[in-house]
Amino acid sequence: MTLILSNDDVERLLTMPDCIEVLEDAYVELAAGRGISRTRSDCIAPTSYADDAMYGLKSMDGVLPKLGISAIRINSDIITNPMIGNTPRRVKVPAAPGGRYVGLVLLFSTDTGEPLAIFPDGVLQHIRVGATNGLGVKYMARDNAQTVGILGSGWQAETQLSAACSVRDIKEIRCFSPNKENRESFSERMSETLQVPVTPVDHAEDSIRGADIAMCATNANDPIFFADWIEKGMHLSSIKVAEIDVNAVRAADRVAIHTHDTEPIIVVAKGATNYEDNQTKSWEMAAALDFDSFPTLPDLITGAAKGRENDAEVTCFLNNLGLGYQFAAAGSVIYRRAKEEGAGNEVPTDWFTETVHP
């Protein structure tokens, strides 16, 4: 039988510490060549939804033989690029019936090839991004780091803070985002969730000043963190390359990236002009910096590279591109626990297999 799970199931079955632990082990496998991950692929096309919108079909996959799991994540998106404040933002539109998004994770067995589980990608997506940057904090931030300044108050920011608190004894958090109501409600909610005081502030610099860890968790297409905000011993963390200004990255003593893949495989249909206008900024930093010279997260975990040598160093982790491999690793935990607890709904595997030779 194949399991059908919901986002609610995923949120209940996978904790942040669990995700950090399984990813940490999976990166050891990846570094040794025993795990494999294919570069993300984006197909961009025009859409009739709106003049300023694009259609995107995204896929990313990976195989983790140690756990007997492979995974593919697929997104079918309507994408817009509105100006929010003074910054262009990449915004997905819930255009599917019922005002919903479309993203799926499919898990397969590497022993039989059969489909094991199908579930939405939304909750796992932001948990695995948080866990990735959390590992950056674990291997690069000072051991005595206690304060976090975060730019952003959306769904990605939640798991960034959860991950930081999972790997460091965080005592104080300050949050800035352009929308006052959003940052205030976010701060109140996260204070209760994390049992750490989260204070909303009126200016981006106010959240960063004096922070041991500076986290960027936005959908901005332009830099939101700058070199003159850096303080001695600070760790910089970003969920996308466009968030931290190139000069700030250059000012860091040590820089690590998630992967040496600098951008997705991108295929653009004629007429999708909005992509060229708004999306290429996300990958310009790789051209401005020598990404090949930076160690990757697996390098830090395996000890092939050091994340920090002393408390005075400024370190920077760029989560430059996600990996489908992460969905196989975290998906293995979700599937195992779902089977143990009888979670989800089982449907016949025969619905997804065939007797005709493909």
Length of the chain: 358
Tens of pLDDT, residues 313-341: 999 999 999 999 999 999 999 999 999 99
Contacts for 151 with CB less than 8 Å, ≥ 6 apart: 176, 177, 204, 207, 208, 214, 215, 216, 217, 218, 224, 225, 243
16-31 vs 122-140: helix crossing angle, rounded to 10: 70
pLDDT recorded at residue 222: 85
Statement: residue 284 has pLDDT above 80: no
Tens of pLDDT, residues 35-87: 999 999 999 999 999 888 999 999 999 999 999 999 999 999 999 877 666 66
Domains and CATH numbers, the chain: 2-124+324-352 (3.30.1780.10), 130-263+277-318 (3.40.50.720)
Residue 119 DSSP label: E
At 282, the pLDDT band (50, 70, 90 cuts) reads low
- Count Cβ atoms below 10 Å from residue 50 Cβ, excluding itself: 12
Report pTM. 0.93
Statement: residue 148 has pLDDT above 70: yes
Statement: residue 220 has pLDDT above 90: no
